[in-house]
Structure 1
Amino acid sequence: MNISMIGIDHSRASVAYRELFSFTRAQAAAAMKRIRDEFAVDGCLLLSTCNRTELWISGEAGRRISPYDMLCEVKGIDKSQYGAYFVERRDGEAVDHLFQLSCGLASRLFGEDQIISQVREALVHCRECGCDDMVIEKLFQSAIAAAKKVKSTVRITAADQSTAVSSLELLKNRMGSLKGVRCLVIGNGQMGRLIANALVDQGACVSMTLRKRIHGREEQGSIVPEGCRMVPYEDRIAELTDSQVVISATLSPHYTIHKTDIEGMKLPEQRIWLDLAVPRDIDPRIGEMEGFHVYDIDSLSDGSMGTASETAVRRALEILEDHAAELERWFAFREEVPQVKKITELAAEDVMDRLSGTMRELTVSDDAVAELSDSIYTAAEKSVGKILYGLRETLTPELWEVCMDALVRAAQKDTLKTGSPNPAGR
């Protein structure tokens, strides 16, 4: 299928390095279009989450130029500095990685559910930018389908491993009951809303920021989850004086809270701040200040399997292997489609040659003969095609290729007459 990818993630790089290669949605769109145009790739997709950035390339361009070089070029980063933090994968190895990633087996929070949505959103964004091709489409659609199958049939972990739930557990471990605890959530994206809802369910008093204008539209109160108090984003610093818990989870490439913003402020004695953004929202220097406990995305899990059942994981891998094998068969079949088309055309032409005498003897109009000829030709094509496509389900890719080659050679011979190639080339 000729697929290449490069990735940096939590297993090899801290958040300080990952944020260098993170992308906002707008930045990802610009980067994909630039890669498509400058490097003449068939297709490209960027997956950028809090734990990873991956660039996927289809076509020969990914062989001539490393996707890592492409990524550094669009980021304006010296490629000699960060290569050790990346892993490059190709073809089958890349497929296995994407399938395991999509169902949470490669996540820092083992078995987490959010990644499948992130993979789906990355594919949709790639389409919207006009940077997808058949390889990218089929690969990512198959990965999403495999992940859905795993999620619906296998319980990988004993508990929900989403970032929101893990954040909640960290807070409860540090503070005990969250009932009545004053919390400020900065950011009203998907992550912010998930955490805000989780805090409300625990009885916390939650305030959530909302920008005055969102994507060119006026503010919409429905973006703030039920039970939360809306706070204009511009007032976030003033809100810190009453907030025991501060959680920032925006898509902004800039800090939401700088060290200089809080110097000299009187803040609650018991306070915990969570920075769930990549790049980070909270100035890292704040964590060095006395009395501050600032946790980033890497603080939520050690990446271990935890309570995952070995039997469940094996079953999940079996499901992924089945889907990967089906994907391989699909691509092998796709390469032979021109052969199938050629065989069906030759078979249809042979049928028409054999019926030519009978057709001339019909006592009907020329238009009726032409219409009947078209119908017979189409029926012959469909009948032979149905048989050939059926072979795909019973033959391995290797035998399928051998069979198609043999059928093409056989179809090109007038075997019932002379055994020599058809003089008309059919």
Structure 2
Amino acid sequence: MDITMVGIDYTDAGLDIRGKFSYTKREQEKTITALRKKEGISGCILLSTCNRTELVLSRTREWEREERSLFCELKGQSVEEYGSYLHLRRGMDAVKDLFALAGGLKSQILGEDQILTQMKDAADFSRKFFGTDKILETLFRMAVTAGKEIKTNINLPASNRSAPLAAISGLEQKGAAFKGERCLVIGNGAMGRLTAQLLLDRGADVTVTIRQYRSGIVDVPVEAARIEYSKRYEKLPECRYVFSATASPNTTITADKLDACALQENTVFVDLAVPRDIEEAVGGMDGVTLYDIDDFGVELPEETKQSLAQARQLLEAKAAEFERWYDAKDVVPMLLTISGQASEDVIARIDKKLRKSVPEQQDAVEDMVSTAVQKVVNKLMFAVRDSVDVSTFRECVDAMRELYEEETAR
């Protein structure tokens, strides 16, 4: 199976290392465009989130590169320096890992919702630039469908399903109370809006930064105040909690500029971005506590273990279903030919009766019969495929093909 998954996630490396391999949308476009031109790559999908960057490749026989080297090269990094932080999975190991990812089992926050949207968006984005192939399209579609089935039918933990919620809940567990507290949220993207709404739900007085050039089209919770991004340092002395969640590669808060601010005692900064929004040196300043997303994990409650086992069982079954599809994908055109031949066979056998009984509707009836026969044959053969091993299935298909070849030769 020529599928490879190479990447880095929160289990492999800390935030600073992961940040070196994160991608903006523009960088993703350039990378996908470059990869699809490389010999040996049939398809590629690049997934880049705050907790991970994954490159999934569909390869041909011409592929001769070492994937870790390629992964580092794409970001201008040295494999000698960063190769040990990367994971590499091939074949069914890659497939199973991707299904587990879609099911929320590989996330830092078990069962989190965002990964399904992120995976779907990654596939859509790659398709937009002609990066996918049939194998990766099918793999991601089946993985996302399996993830949705888990979300719908299996009761994984309902709490802490996003990084902002995990951070806020984690602070509450440490004794934080947000009611009446002034909070600044830097960034008004999806993460920033969610952070602001969660704080508002807890009774906080929330202000969200906006970029001046976007001030006419921003979408933030109506209860939140707004200030221009450039005035964020002026707002800091009023705030007990500061959350930063932007997609910018540049820092939003630096220690030298913060040093000139008359901050409240014990001001808490929470960095929800990858790469970092807030300069790490801020955490060493007097009267300041700095957290990042690696500080907020969630322990698995005992009562969820059974649900987790059910989810793993479902994902195993769905991954096996993909494996059956992959192993038999070259047989599908043969099946379509056989079902077409079977419909022609049936029509030939009932043609005289049709001409006598419904001559004026013969063509319409033949079309209905032909369609029905093809559907029945395909349904039966795919049921056989799902019930036997691949070699036995191929023998069945070959036997049917030979049957019609013999009849055609007569």
CA deviations on 1:149-192 (whole Å, 9 max, x unpaired) are 11112222263332222111233244532111111100111111
Indicate how the Cα distance of structure 1 residues 13 and 413 shifts in structure 2: closer, same or farther if over 3 A, else same: same
Match of 1:74 in 2: 74
Distance, in Å, in 1 between the alignment partners of 2:104 and 2:229 is 33
- Scaled by the length of structure 1, what TM-score is found? 0.85
CA deviations on 1:360-408 (whole Å, 9 max, x unpaired) are xx9xxxxx9xx98999699668625632442211342522211011222
Stretches of structure 2 that go unaligned for 5 or more consecutive residues are: none
Say whether 1:262 aligns with 2:255: no
Q: Is 1:351–1:377's contact at 8 Å kept on the other side of the alignment?
A: no
Indicate how the Cα distance of structure 1 residues 124 and 348 shifts in structure 2: closer, same or farther if over 3 A, else same: closer
- Scaled by the length of structure 2, what TM-score is found? 0.89
Match of 2:376 in 1: 386
Say whether 1:412 aligns with 2:405: yes
Stretches of structure 1 that go unaligned for 5 or more consecutive residues are: 363-367, 415-420
Indicate how the Cα distance of structure 1 residues 197 and 61 shifts in structure 2: closer, same or farther if over 3 A, else same: farther
Distance, in Å, in 2 between the alignment partners of 1:353 and 1:148 is 45
Letter in 2 for 1:228: A
1:261: how far off? 1.6
Indicate how the Cα distance of structure 1 residues 148 and 388 shifts in structure 2: closer, same or farther if over 3 A, else same: closer
Q: Is 1:193–1:225's contact at 8 Å kept on the other side of the alignment?
A: yes
Distance, in Å, in 2 between the alignment partners of 1:300 and 1:355 is 70
Distance, in Å, in 2 between the alignment partners of 1:348 and 1:293 is 73
Distance, in Å, in 1 between the alignment partners of 2:307 and 2:88 is 28
Match of 1:422 in 2: 409
Identity %: 33
SS state of the match for residue 247, structure 2?
A: coil
Q: Is 1:45–1:131's contact at 8 Å kept on the other side of the alignment?
A: yes
Equivalent runs, 1:93-112 vs 2, <5 Å: 93-112=93-112
Match of 2:54 in 1: 54
Moved over 6 A (4+): 348-356, 371-378
Which sits farther off after the overlay, 49-58 or 343-352?
A: 343-352
Indicate how the Cα distance of structure 1 residues 422 and 109 shifts in structure 2: closer, same or farther if over 3 A, else same: same
Which sits farther off after the overlay, 16-25 or 382-391?
A: 382-391
Equivalent runs, 1:25-424 vs 2, <5 Å: 25-39=25-39, 41-60=41-60, 63-157=63-157, 159-214=159-214, 219-221=216-218, 223-301=219-297, 304-307=299-302, 309-344=304-339, 383=373, 386-394=376-384, 395-398=387-390, 399-414=392-407, 422=409
Indicate how the Cα distance of structure 1 residues 193 and 158 shifts in structure 2: closer, same or farther if over 3 A, else same: closer
Distance, in Å, in 1 between the alignment partners of 2:27 and 2:55 is 13
Distance, in Å, in 2 between the alignment partners of 1:15 and 1:177 is 27
Provide the aligned length of Structure 1 versus Structure 2. Answer: 404
Q: Is 2:2–2:58's contact at 8 Å kept on the other side of the alignment?
A: yes
Letter in 1 for 2:207: S
Choose 1 or 2 for highest CA Rg.
1
Q: Is 2:265–2:288's contact at 8 Å kept on the other side of the alignment?
A: no
Distance, in Å, in 2 between the alignment partners of 1:4 and 1:308 is 35
Distance, in Å, in 2 between the alignment partners of 1:163 and 1:32 is 27
Distance, in Å, in 1 between the alignment partners of 2:345 and 2:147 is 46
CA deviations on 1:304-356 (whole Å, 9 max, x unpaired) are 42455221111111221232233233334432122223434555677899999
